[in-house]
Amino acid sequence: MTDTEAVDMAGERDEVVRLLEALGTGAYLADEQGRITGVNARAEELLGRSVGELVGRDAHDLLHRDRRGERLPRTRCRIREAGAAGRTAQGADAWMERGDGSVLPVAWLATPCGPGDPPTATLVLLHPRHEAPPPPPFSELARLALLAETTTTLTSTLDVDEALHRLVGLVVPRLADWAVVDLITERDEVWRSAVVHAENGLLVHREELQGPMPPVPQESSMPLSRALRGVASGLAGPETYQGPPDSGIAVEQRRLFDATGMHSAAIAPIRGAGEVLGALTLGRSEQPEPFTEADIGLLEDITRRAGLALANARLYQRQRKVAETMQRHLLPQLPTVPGLDMTARYLPAPDASHVGGDWYDAFTLADGATALAIGDVVGHDLDAAAGMAQLRNMLRAYAWAEQGPPSRVVEWLDRASLHIAEVSMATMAFGRMTVAGDGHWELSWTNAGHPPPLLVTHDGVARYLTEGHGVLLGIEAHERRSDATVALPPGSTLVLYTDGLIESPGHSIDEGLHRLRRHAASLAHRRLESFTDQLLRRARPPGNEDDVALLAVRVPD
């Protein structure tokens, strides 16, 4: 380098320093590689470093930190990202390491600067900011209020997924920035059911971190493994899982800490009645205060209440599954009848307590007639499902043995159900379909307190078959039941259904009947499978809380 070039470079540095001093706030200039090429006196003061300690050093490696004072990964540093991209950016979320090792919170602005197009340097302005003091520890009153809210919120639902959603909403962001729920399934497998982060006041589910987990190791001393075995609660941090992993769960935990940036976590078992259901992990990434042993007691109080709520929800859903499975296996396969098109649907109630009573049946009788039945046993539980099976089997037996009209069969069934079947009351419509002498199909039926069958012609004329109506089964009525008969027009569709298709809170039965008739008429030209599916989708009322059984039969055109 010649003397002239050296003098020119010294002059440029002096000019840069004069410009930086004129800014009135802390500032430094960095080149394309991120090395500091100039700094003003205010920046020296803020950073507690001299010019000699700053110029020529990589700004990111020397200065940029997270709120805990740890080195910030380059991929997460917005200041470095702005410089590398040659664009202007700003923020109030940076921390700079001072010469004495302390961390200075700053607001910042980074912008391209210098000659050339595009500019080859980046100007970074720094302004100290005052962070809010850490929140005070939970008072005893606040603790009791949170536990009362937890009890009320979690016990008011019997849906496992909803209970988990409410649980994480109670603790994030009130106690933590992150909530992680690991549940043990009925097959003793671990499933990471929720990884939730508070972002701008909203709960964001990190689905890429959720899913199946490795088995629980029986000898592991790691915090999550101990919690999932129900041994103890504990504290954890990124350093907990940095050594050689002792299990697959340890590998997943390291991945969790790396992906979330959590610097502190508290983990507690979720216990039900005599079993461990899972574990709840609370993590902090933005909140600077680490969890301490003093936080464990509150966390365990929360998980104890969560465990009771989840155990109840699981028991309830298990009952629902048993009832649904039982009912689906009890509902029959439809017979194949030459000339007839027949299909059926069963939709369980959204609430487990409303499963069990609705049923349908169709079978061929000894004289060649086709028997059709639809019914609803009073009650919505396993007892109703069992009673439905008894009633249906008795009906089949009486209908096969009693070669009489439908009313006669139902009278026998009514008397028997009072003494043999474990059914308190039930509604039912029962009919026989036969071919008349002129080749047309006929339906003879009787109705025991059930919603009337619906007949839809091929031309879209729909009417309810309200004749043959009598009282429901199980009330010891002494009057004789009546029959009704109707000719089924070619191509017409007969619809038998239960009250879940027409009843809902806030709507009258007449409204439901009107809605069902309109939709059935509009679907008259659909193939029977499509007719049935669309009728269920369109006619089932909003807010329906009951199960629905539907049997549809179409006579030949």
Condensed to tens digits (0 to 9), the pLDDT of residues 440-490 reads 999 999 999 999 999 999 999 999 999 999 999 887 766 789 999 999 999
Rounded to whole angstroms, the Cα distance separating 206 from 285 reads 15
Same domain flag for 312 and 338: no
Any domain includes 325 = no
In a domain, 326, yes or no: no
Count helices and strands in the chain by DSSP H and E runs = 14, 24
The four Cα atoms 512, 477, 468, 511 give a dihedral, to 10 degrees, of -10
- pLDDT attached to residue 176: 93
Express as a percent the part of the chain with pLDDT over 90. Answer: 50
Judge whether 500 and 548 are in contact, CB under 8 Å: yes
> Looking at the structure, do residues 173 and 92 belong to the same domain, yes or no?
no
> Which of 273, 301, 320 represents a domain boundary (last residue)?
320
Considering the domain architecture, whether residues 70 and 14 belong to the same structural domain is answered as yes
Residue 225 in any domain: the answer is yes
CA dist., res. 555 & res. 532, Å (int): 15
Q: For residue 182, give the CATH number of its domain.
A: 3.30.450.40
- The verdict on 224 and 316 lying in the same domain is yes
Per-residue model confidence (pLDDT) at position 391: 84
Q: Give the pLDDT band of residue 319 (cuts 50, 70, 90).
A: confident
**Final residue belonging to a domain, choices 104, 128, 152:** 128
CATH code (residue 80): 3.30.450.20
Is position 438 within any domain?
Answer: yes
pLDDT for position 329: 64
**Whether residue 312 is found in the same domain as residue 188:** yes
Secondary structure letter of residue 210 according to DSSP: -
* Contact criterion met (CB below 8 Å) for 263 and 299: no
**366, 459: one domain:** yes
Q: Is the pLDDT of residue 1 over 90?
A: no
For the chain, the domain total comes to 3
Look at residue 6 and tell me whether its pLDDT is greater than 90. Answer: no
Look at residue 151 in the predicted model and tell me its pLDDT.
Answer: 86
Q: Does any domain span residue 110?
A: yes
Q: How confident is the model at residue 277 (pLDDT cuts 50, 70, 90)?
A: very high
Domain residues for 49?
A: 3-128
The pLDDT value given to residue 253: 95
CA dihedral (112, 114, 119, 122) positive or negative: negative
Q: Which two tokens stand for residue 274?
A: 């005599």
Q: What type of residue is 268?
A: A
What is the spatial order of strands in the sheet that 454-456 belongs to?
341-347, 548-554, 493-497, 454-456, 462-464
Q: What's the pLDDT band for 353 if we cut at 50, 70, 90?
A: very low
Residue 34 is classified by DSSP as S
Report the interhelical angle of 406-419 vs 382-401 (nearest 10°). Answer: 130
pLDDT digits (tens, 9 = 90+) for 365-380: 999 999 999 998 876 5
Do 313 and 351 fall into the same domain? no
Q: How many residues does the chain have?
A: 557
| 299 and 354 both lie in a single domain | no
Q: Give the separation between CA 409 and CA 204, rounded to whole angstroms.
A: 60
Strands 178-184 and 276-284: antiparallel
Contact 110, 86 (CB under 8 A): no
7-65: per-residue pLDDT in tens? 344 445 556 667 777 777 899 999 989 999 989 999 999 999 999 999 999 999 999 99
Confidence of residue 69 (pLDDT cuts 50, 70, 90): confident
Do 533 and 407 share a structural domain? yes
Q: Classify residue 93: in a domain, yes or no.
A: yes
* Whether 288 contacts 67, CB under 8 Å: yes
One domain, residues 21 and 154: no
User: Are 121 and 165 within one domain?
Assistant: no
Mapped onto helix, strand or coil, the DSSP state of residue 426 is strand
Give me the residues paired with residue 375 across strands: 359, 428
387 and 533 in a single domain? The answer is yes
The average confidence (pLDDT) of the chain is 86
Examine residue 135 and state whether it is found in any structural domain, yes or no.
no
Asked whether residue 133 is assigned to any structural domain, the reply reads: no
- Out of 128, 154, 184, pick the residue that ends a domain: 128
Give the count of beta carbons closer than 10 Å to the beta carbon of residue 417: 24
